[in-house]
């Protein structure tokens, strides 16, 4: 076995091995090329992202009879969200699990990032699985050179903090970590908080050292990142119905044969189904485990918080794509 650029060649006969020693293969010698691909994400091996990535690996390798292999790099090993997008653009990462940070490369994605834009998971799914979702995915391909294979569900985002959050007043001036996503920074500022963009890999330490006072994420992400070890409270704000994309380098996609593209597409669909089901079935168990370990859960009336956020939506949308925003609102019946 020896390595070439991005591939491993397995020689399948003693004759071929002998020929390799003198620098040539005999005519008709059997050889199988194995395509080695890389997937990076920012979460730990405890998170359901990693479960979904492992399912994708399993499906890719099984459906290709081992002709395609996948190496998974969790824990920001290949870098943070921006690094992963840039890696797909340059071809140093083949796949990534990436969400709203794509909006820094393809602005229309930003509209999916507005807190309290969607009132339910069904509303979010209506948009991403319809013509508007297809348009956004096309914008990402054309603008960022990244192909969205599928959207994975993650559940709704909640706020964790070291003080109870019960009203809009409790959020005023709160130094809350948010992803490096302008739509979220703008909206949390409109709510009255002090949003602090920060890479996920820095959040645990930032909370532990009181550099930030709070953060917001879906329950599986909070569980996977062990945030409950450094935060006392979780407030059910349900401010965003969350997703992550299983995304692929368009450069790499274009290098695949039609058969390989079909295998990737089918494997991605199977991994998406498995990850979505895991989110639906395991979120409550994860929350209960954190509660049993000492996390206090508060449930609040979010009417005032949502109103403050929604008031800022249209002005932000004007900086991105106001027509697309209005079409989205019309599709949602608002």
pLDDT in tens, 68-91: 999 999 999 999 999 999 999 999
Query: What's the 3-state SS for the chain?
Result: CEEECCEEEEECCHHHHHHHHCCCCCCCCCEEEEEEEEEECCCCCCCHHHHHHHHHHHHHHHHCCCCEEEEEECCCCCCCHHHHHHHHHHCCCCEEEECHHHHHCCHHHHHHHCCCCCCCHHHHHHHHCCHHHHHHHHHHHHHHCEEEEEEEEEEEEEEEECCCCCCHHHHCCCEEEECCCHHHHHHHHHHCCEEEECCHHHHHHHHHCCCCCEEEEEHHHHHHCCHHHCCCEEEECCCCEEEEEEEEEHHHHHHCCHHHHHHHHHHHHHHHHHHHHHHHHHHHHHHHHHHHCCCEEEECCCHHHHHHHHCCHHHHHCCCCHHHHHHHHHHCCC
Q: What mean pLDDT do residues 145-163 have?
A: 96
pLDDT band of 32, cuts 50, 70, 90: low
Residue 15 has pLDDT above 70, yes or no: no
- State the chain's mean pLDDT as an integer: 90
The predicted pLDDT at position 46 comes to: 86
Q: Which of 6-10, 157-161, 170-174, 240-244 has the lowest mean pLDDT?
A: 6-10
User: Which CATH number does the domain 2-331 belong to among 2.60.40.3880, 3.40.190.170, 3.90.650.10, 3.40.50.300?
Assistant: 3.40.190.170
The predicted pLDDT at position 197 comes to: 95
Percent of the chain with pLDDT over 90: 84
What is the tens place of the pLDDT at every residue in 277-330? Answer: 999 999 999 999 999 999 999 999 999 999 999 999 999 999 999 999 999 999
Residue 110 has pLDDT above 50, yes or no: yes
The predicted pLDDT at position 30 comes to: 39
Q: In 3D, which of 184, 108, 181 has the Cα closest to residue 143?
A: 108
Q: Which of 20-24, 46-50, 108-112, 215-219 has the lowest mean pLDDT?
A: 20-24
What is the tens place of the pLDDT at every residue in 238-284? Answer: 999 989 999 999 999 999 999 999 999 999 999 999 999 999 999 99
Residue 16 has pLDDT above 60, yes or no: no
Q: Between 28 and 178, whose confidence is greater?
A: 178
Residue 177 has pLDDT above 50, yes or no: yes
Map tokens 């509303």 to a residue: 123
Percent of the chain with pLDDT over 70: 90
The predicted pLDDT at position 57 comes to: 98
Q: What mean pLDDT do residues 92-115 have?
A: 94
- Give the residues across from 234 on adjacent strands: 160, 297
CA distance 284 to 277: 13
The predicted pLDDT at position 100 comes to: 87
Q: How many CA atoms, within 13 angstroms, populate the side-chain half-sphere of residue 237?
A: 31
Q: What mean pLDDT do residues 53-71 have?
A: 98
The predicted pLDDT at position 22 comes to: 35
Give me the residue spans of the domains in the chain. 2-331
Q: What mean pLDDT do residues 209-227 have?
A: 95
Which tokens is 73 given? Answer: 């790099």
Q: Is 4 exposed, middle or buried (0-12, 13-18, 19+ CB in 10 A)?
A: exposed
Which tokens is 102 given? Answer: 């794509």
């Amino acid at each position: 076995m020896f390595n070439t650029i991005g591939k491993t060649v397995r020689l399948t006969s003693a004759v071929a091995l002998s020929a390799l020693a003198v620098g040539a293969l005999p005519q008709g010698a059997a050889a199988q090329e194995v395509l080695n691909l890389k997937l990076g994400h920012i979460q730990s091996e405890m998170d359901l992202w990693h479960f979904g990535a492992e399912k994708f690996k399993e499906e890719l390798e099984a459906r290709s009879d081992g002709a395609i292999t996948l190496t998974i790099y969790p824990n920001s090993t290949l870098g943070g969200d921006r690094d992963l997008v840039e890696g797909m653009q340059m071809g140093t990462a083949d796949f990534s699990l990436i969400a709203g940070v794509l909006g820094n490369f393809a602005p229309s994605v930003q509209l999916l990032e507005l807190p309290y834009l969607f009132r339910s998971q069904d509303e979010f799914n209506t948009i991403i699985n319809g013509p508007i979702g297809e348009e956004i995915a096309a914008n990402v391909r054309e603008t960022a050179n990244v192909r969205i294979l599928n959207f994975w569900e993650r559940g709704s985002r909640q706020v964790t903090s070291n003080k109870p959050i019960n009203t809009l007043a409790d959020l005023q001036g709160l130094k809350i970590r948010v992803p490096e996503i302008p739509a979220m920074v703008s909206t949390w500022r409109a709510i009255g908080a002090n949003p602090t963009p920060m890479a996920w890999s820095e959040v645990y330490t930032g909370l532990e050292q009181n550099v930030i006072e709070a953060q917001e994420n879906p329950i599986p992400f909070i569980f996977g990142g062990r945030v409950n070890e450094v935060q006392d409270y979780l407030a059910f704000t349900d401010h965003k119905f969350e997703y992550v994309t299983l995304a692929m380098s368009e450069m790499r996609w274009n290098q695949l044969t039609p058969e390989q593209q079909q295998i990737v597409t089918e494997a991605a669909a199977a991994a998406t189904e498995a990850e979505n089901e895991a989110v639906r079935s395991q979120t409550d168990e994860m929350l209960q485990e954190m509660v049993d370990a000492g996390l206090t859960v508060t449930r609040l009336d979010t009417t005032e918080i949502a109103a403050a956020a929604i008031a800022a939506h249209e002005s932000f949308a004007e900086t991105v794509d106001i027509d697309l925003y209005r079409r989205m609102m019309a599709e949602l019946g608002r």
